[in-house]
Structure 1
Amino acid sequence: MVKSSSLALAVLLAGLSGSAIAQDKPVLTIYTYDGFASEWGPGVPLKEGFEATCGCTVNWVAADSSIGTLRKVQLEGESTEADIVLGLDTAIAGEARDTGLFADHGLELDHLDLPTAWTDAQFVPFDYSHFAFMWDTDRMDAPPASFEELIALPEDVKIAIQDPRSATPGLGLLLWVKAAYGDRAPEIWAGLKPHILTITREWSESYALFLDGEADMVLSYTTSPAYHILDEGDHTIKAALFEEGHFAQIEVAGILKSSPHQDLARDFLAYLTSVEGQKVIPTTNWMFPVVDLGGDLDPAFADLPQPDKTLRLNEAEITANSSAWIEEMLAAVQ
C-alpha cells in the first residue's frame, strides 16, 4: 500500500512537471488566410519543420482571406494575440504599414530571387506570381493577348473575377488595369462589363465557375496551371499572357510590435525564407518561391510561360488611391 501510494505520488508529480514544461513552451500565434492554414496548405509542413527546431508551438489562426487577417488585427490593435500576420500582399502592405502595428523584421534578405529587388524593412516576402486569366484549350481555340482583345471578343465569352474589397486577386486585377492603362482604366472596365459573368467574394468561388464551364476565363495566377499538371495530369488549362504586361502579387508576412516573442517571430520568418521553408511553397500554395530552388523546383513550375513585362505601382500611390479606384471600377461595371 505504501509502495502504491509512493508510485501514485511519483506519477502525479511527473505529470505536474510535464504540464509545467508544456506551459513553459512559447506559443507563436500566426494570423493567416484559411487556404494557407488548411490541411493541404503550406501551414502544416511549415509548422512541423519549424517546431522541430524552435522548442515552441506554432498556432495558426485563420481568417477567410488575407484582407480578413488585416481587418482582424486592425480591430484588435495592440491587444492582438498575433505575433505574426502572414498572407498580406504588396497591394495592401501600405495600409498595413500605416496602422503602426508592425515592427521592423531586422533580417538580411540578400538571398531572395524576385521580379523586383526587395528592400522593405517591415514585411518579408514568401511567395509570388503574376495575375492572369486562365483559359482551357478544350473550350477556346486561342486566348486574347491583351485586355483590348478580350473586350473585342463576342459578348458571350464570359469571365469570372473577384471583388477587390474582399479578395486580393480582385484588388490585383484593379491595380493591373490601372498600371497598364492609367486614366483609361474606366474605359477598360466599361469594355469588360459585358464579359463579366459575376464578381465573386473570393477566388475559390470564381475558379469553381471556370472549372464547371460556366465561365470561359477566370482571374487567377500564371502559376495556377501547375496545380492541374501536377495534381490532375491536366495540361489543358493555361494562363493567357497579355502584351501590355502583368501585375505581380508578392505575399508577405510581418511581425507585430506587440508580440512578446520578437526573436522567435524573427526566427520563423528566417525559416520561412530559407531553402528548407521555401521548398514547401510551390506545391502547397501553388506560387513561385522567393529563393532560387534550382533543381528542387518542379519542371511544372520551371517550364511555365511567364510575362515579359512586370507592371508596378508605387505603394504610396496604391494606399492613397485604392478606395477611389475601387469606386471607379464598380461604377463602370455595375
Structure 2
Amino acid sequence: MRLSLAACFTCAALPALAETPVLTVLTYDSFTSEWGPGPAVEKAFEEACACDLQFVAAGDGAALLARLQLEGASSPADVVLGLDTNLTAAAAATGLFAPHDQPAATGLPVAYDDPLFLPYDWGWFAFVYDKTKLPEPPASFEALAASDVSVVIQDPRSSTPGLGLLMWVKAAYGDKAADIWGGLADNIVTVTPGWSEAYGLFLEGEADMVLSYTTSPAYHRIAEQDETKDWAPFAEGHYLQVEVAGVLAASDQPELARAFLAFTQSPAFQSVIPETNWMYPAVETTLPQGFETARPETSLLLSADEAASLRDAALTEWQAALAR
C-alpha cells in the first residue's frame, strides 16, 4: 500500500493524543455495507493514520446533501463521500466545504478539476436486465416508452442514480423531456428511495429492468459466475456519473480529513473500487478480468452549473408525469 507523501507526512504529523483521533466520513448506505468498499477502506486507512475511521451512512447519495443542508456547520462529519457532479454546485453553495489541495484525478473519461470536490470513482447509468427473461431489451427511451417493459427507478430527491436519470433524459431530449416522461410513466412499477432497494426488487423479479450502471452486470459475472445480467445500450447515449468526496470546513480534524482525501487517490483505495463499489476507479488502475464487456458509444454529461439550473424544472416534469 502506498500513500502520497503529503498524506504520509500529514498522518505522521498528527499530535500524540491520549485518545485515538476519530475521523467521521458521511457516505451512502451501500458504501458501508459488508460487501461495499467501506470495510477494506477503513482497515487500510487506519493502518496508515493511527486513527479511528468511522463511516456514517445516510441513505443514498442525494440524501447526503439534504442532511448537510439540515445540519449546516454543526454537522459531526469531517468528510462527505458520495455526492456527484449533479449535486456539487448546490453543495458548494452551502459554503460548508473547504478546498482539498489535491491534483485532479487522472482516470476519468472527461476533464474534471474542482477545488472543493475530488473524484474517487465514475460510471455510466444504464438499465440492467436479465437476458433470459428479456431477450430483446428496448434500445432507447422512446422504445422503452412504447413497450410494455416494466422498470424500477430511484427517487431523484434522495438518490444520485434517480437524479442522474432526470439529467440523462434532460441532456438527451432537452425541451422534449416532459414528453419522454409522459411516455415512461406507465412503465415505472415503483420509485425507491435508493439504489439498493431498487436493485433488490429487480433481482426479486418485480420489474423487467432497473436503473443502475453499465458495470452492474460485472458483479454477477465476477462474484456469482452469472452471465444472465446485462445493460441495454441506448441510442441517445449514456449519462456519466462522477462521484466525489469533500472536506467540511467545520471539521475538527482538518489535517486528517485532507489525508483521507489524498488516500482516496491511492492504490489501496482505488484498487478495491471495481469489485466492491462496481464502478470505474478515478485513477488509472488495472481492471479485473471480466469487469467490462463493452462501453457506451456516446457519453452525456451536464456541467455542475447546468445540472443545478435544470434540476428543479426536471424534477417538476418528472413529478407531473408520474402524478397522472
TM-score by length of 1: 0.89
Higher helix share: 1
SS at match of 1:30: strand
> What's 1:333 paired with?
322
Q: CA deviation at 1:312?
A: 1.5
Q: Structure 1 counterpart of 2:125, which letter?
A: F
Q: CA deviation at 1:22?
A: 6.4
Q: 1:178-193 counterparts in 2 under 5 A?
A: 178-193=170-185
Q: Structure 2 counterpart of 1:179, which letter?
A: A
Choose from 48, 51, 54 the match for 2:49: 54
Q: CA deviation at 1:324?
A: 2.1
> What's 2:245 paired with?
253
> What's 1:314 paired with?
303
Choose from 279, 298, 308 the match for 2:288: 298
In structure 2, do the counterparts of structure 1 residues 75 and 23 end up closer, same or farther at CA, with 3 Å as the change threshold?
Answer: farther
SS at match of 1:298: coil
1:283-324 C-alpha deviation (Å, 9 max, x unpaired)? 111111111112xx21222x3311111112121122123122
Q: Is this contact kept in 2: 1:115–1:310, CA < 8 A?
A: no
> What's 1:74 paired with?
69
Q: CA deviation at 1:73?
A: 2.1
Q: 1:1-334 counterparts in 2 under 5 A?
A: 23-109=18-104, 112-153=106-147, 155=148, 157-294=149-286, 297-301=287-291, 303-334=292-323
1:55-101 C-alpha deviation (Å, 9 max, x unpaired)? 21111111112222222222221122211011111111111111000
Q: Is this contact kept in 2: 1:131–1:173, CA < 8 A?
A: yes
User: What is the rounded CA distance, in whole Å, between the counterparts of 1:130 and 1:227 in structure 2?
Assistant: 15
User: What is the rounded CA distance, in whole Å, between the counterparts of 1:213 and 1:51 in structure 2?
Assistant: 40
SS at match of 2:126: strand
User: What is the rounded CA distance, in whole Å, between the counterparts of 1:226 and 1:23 in structure 2?
Assistant: 45
> What's 2:4 paired with?
none
SS at match of 1:265: helix
Q: Is this contact kept in 2: 1:125–1:250, CA < 8 A?
A: yes
SS at match of 2:227: coil
> What's 1:14 paired with?
none
With a CA cutoff of 8 Å and minimum separation of 6, indicate the structure with the bigger relative contact order.
2
1:259-281 C-alpha deviation (Å, 9 max, x unpaired)? 12222211111111112210011
Q: Is this contact kept in 1: 2:26–2:56, CA < 8 A?
A: yes
Q: Structure 1 counterpart of 2:169, which letter?
A: V
Q: Which moved more, 1:242-251 or 1:174-183?
A: 242-251
Q: Which moved more, 1:160-169 or 1:60-69?
A: 60-69
Q: CA deviation at 1:328?
A: 1.1
User: What is the rounded CA distance, in whole Å, between the counterparts of 2:318 and 2:102 in structure 1?
Assistant: 38
Q: Is this contact kept in 2: 1:67–1:168, CA < 8 A?
A: yes
Q: Is this contact kept in 1: 2:265–2:283, CA < 8 A?
A: yes
* Percent of residue pairs identical: 51
Structure 1 or 2, whichever has the larger Rg, is: 1
Runs of at least 5 residues in structure 1 that lack an aligned partner in the other structure: 1-20
User: What is the rounded CA distance, in whole Å, between the counterparts of 2:307 and 2:248 in structure 1?
Assistant: 22
Q: Structure 1 counterpart of 2:163, which letter?
A: L
Calculate the aligned-residue CA RMSD, in Å.
1.6
Q: Structure 2 counterpart of 1:55, which letter?
A: A
SS at match of 1:100: coil
Q: CA deviation at 1:170?
A: 0.8
1:229-273 C-alpha deviation (Å, 9 max, x unpaired)? 112111110000111111111111000111122222111111111
Question: Which runs of 4 or more aligned residues in structure 1 lie more than 6 Å from their structure 2 counterparts after TM superposition?
Answer: none
1:131-160 C-alpha deviation (Å, 9 max, x unpaired)? 10011110112122111121222x3x2111
Q: Which moved more, 1:195-204 or 1:119-128?
A: 195-204
